[in-house]
Chain A
Amino acid sequence: MKKLAVVAHPEDNVATAVRNLSKGEEVHVDVDGNEMRVKLLVDIPFGHKFALRDIEADMDVIKYGEVIGRATRPIKTGEHVHVHNIESLRGRGDWEGEKK
């Protein structure tokens, strides 16, 4: 069977779609040998991420077992995870001004 989504590391709270996936689809993902099922709340384009579990606002978003950013609002399991709901913690020149 062709893979639909990839989880890079067992500690990740996001998966990456390797097909264009549709809202309502139940996606089977392999998390370190264990199968996990996630029902998608929205369409997920190829290469984009969806949440494997609920992520609270301000919580770390984990991929490759490492922090890739922080949720700017609550993200539900199966929801699209991208620039609209996570932010970077690095290279934030916009924060420098706020500090002054």
Chain B
Amino acid sequence: MKIMGYIRPDGRVGIRNHIVIIPSSVCASEVAMRIASHVEGAVALPNQHGCCQIGADMELITNTLIGLGKNPNVAAALVVGLGCEGVPTEKVAEEIAKTGKRVEYIIIQDCGGTLKAEEIGTRIARQMAQEAAMLKREEVDISNLILAVECGGSDTTSGLASNPVAGYVSDKLIELGGTSMFSETTEIIGAEHLLAKRAVSREVADKLLEIVRRCEEKAKTMGVDMRGGQPTPGNIEGGISTIEEKSLGCIYKGGTKPVQGVLDYAEPPAGKGLYIMDTPGQDIESITGMTAGGAQVVIFTTGRGTPTGSPIAPVIKITANPDTYKKMEDNIDFNAGTIVEGDETIKEAGERLFNEMIEVCNGKLTKAEVLKHREFGMYKLISTF
């Protein structure tokens, strides 16, 4: 099966053609946002991080920013540094440039302040946007696609219907030679034994059990019942009683295929098939991790409803709660409420969602894109120093 995408210099395929403005740190975020606001097709990744971090925590942010710049949905990248932050601006730009796409960087302190940096950066981004606009979509095989499946604002319809529908799409993409990943380690607690059985090797199973154990241990250090944080108050109001119930419903979004590997946050998958990424259950940080790992499209299931989008990838939102679809139709692309009402099977809705995903890959805008929802947040290991 074919989709229409932008073939990048490294051979990877984008389904969007963004100019991404990447601040190396919180101190460069405002300038990055201002540059993006001046340029058609440019998106910024404003964030609170990038400085006064150490060791693995600093590497995580650096690698995440690099991964986002490398995402094939990005046509060209401008990295904006203040000049004295921990994340090395030049290195971020160099690493992204290994994909062969155009990458530039500017340093606010060297430019002579924010107004000058804004002017210089806007001029670079303006050129990039004009160059990117000349690129044409070409027919490529769907096996180039990496799908990220996310769930958020869950209620009990998520596990019973919308997650199985997303899982159906994930399975079908993998059967066509593609790659799919899901994440949210917290929401595997209580269901890890089922996923471990699907691991392709003992090492993969062990790594999965280990990330879940670490996540649960971290929650326990707070000395409280995690219920109320996970499941969230909204999950509970929607009928989910325990983290186990939430997790058992969540993992349906990963379909039924063997688990090829467990990825660290922002790590790209090494091959095709199904992968699990170690991320928090918080939707925004989870989607950031998966798009930094190369996912070009996101399917996001919700029960309670959520407006979330992404600066890097189109986010297709689906709910199986008929009331939520009615209430939040401005934010939700796909109604699978037909399933709990008995009017449609998982397979029928799954086929419909698969076709929707193909259209989005070919250029159809999701509601989150039209409404310019570009929620962005990165996971962090420890507090800032």
Contact = CB atoms under 8 A, between A and B. Distances in A.
| The 3 residue pairs across chains A and B that have the minimum distance between CB atoms | A91-B226, A47-B239, A88-B242
Interface in B184-241: 189-191, 194, 216, 219-227, 230, 236, 238-239, 241
Tell which of A64, A91, A93 has the most Cβ of chain B within 10 Å: A91
Interface stretch (B21-29, B128-136, B244-252): B244-252
B156 A49 contact: yes
A65 to B, nearest CB: 9
Contact of A6 (B160, B189, B221, B230): B160
Contacts of A82: 236, 239, 241
Given A16-B160, A48-B239, A68-B248, A94 B194 contact: no
B225 A3 contact: no
A45 B239 contact: yes
Contacts of A90: 189-190, 216, 226, 242-244
Nearest to A3: B342
Contact of A91 (B157, B216, B241): B216
B156 A47 contact: yes
Contacts of B227: 83, 87-88, 91
B230 A16 contact: no
A67 B248 CA distance: 9
A76 to B, nearest CB: 17
A23 B321 CA distance: 22
Contacts of A87: 225, 227, 242
A97 B241 contact: no
A86 interface: yes
A57 interface: no
Interface string A1-34: 1110010100000001110000000000000000
A63 B226 contact: no
Tell which of B156, B236, B249, B342 has the most Cβ of chain A within 10 Å: B156
Interface of A: 1-3, 6, 8, 16-18, 45-49, 61, 63-64, 66-69, 81-83, 86-94, 96-97
B185 to A, nearest CB: 12
Interface string B274-312: 000000000000000000000000000001000000000
B225 A18 contact: no
Given A18-B341, A63-B248, A88 B155 contact: no
Tell which of A17, A45, A83, A89 has the most Cβ of chain B within 10 Å: A83
A78 B216 CA distance: 33
Contacts of A81: 241
A16 B240 CA distance: 10
B220 A66 contact: no
Interface of B: 155-157, 159-160, 189-191, 194, 216, 219-227, 230, 236, 238-239, 241-245, 248-249, 303, 321, 323, 340-342
Contacts of B216: 90-91
Given A88-B243, A90-B243, A94-B225, A66 B191 contact: yes
A19 B216 CA distance: 34
A17 B238 CA distance: 11
Nearest to B303: A47
Given A68-B244, A69-B244, A93 B225 contact: yes
Contacts of B219: 91, 93
A4 B221 CA distance: 41
A92 B69 CA distance: 39
B82 to A, nearest CB: 39
Contacts of A93: 219-226
A94 B244 contact: no
Contacts of A2: 341-342
A86 B189 CA distance: 17
Nearest to B223: A93
A87 B228 CA distance: 12
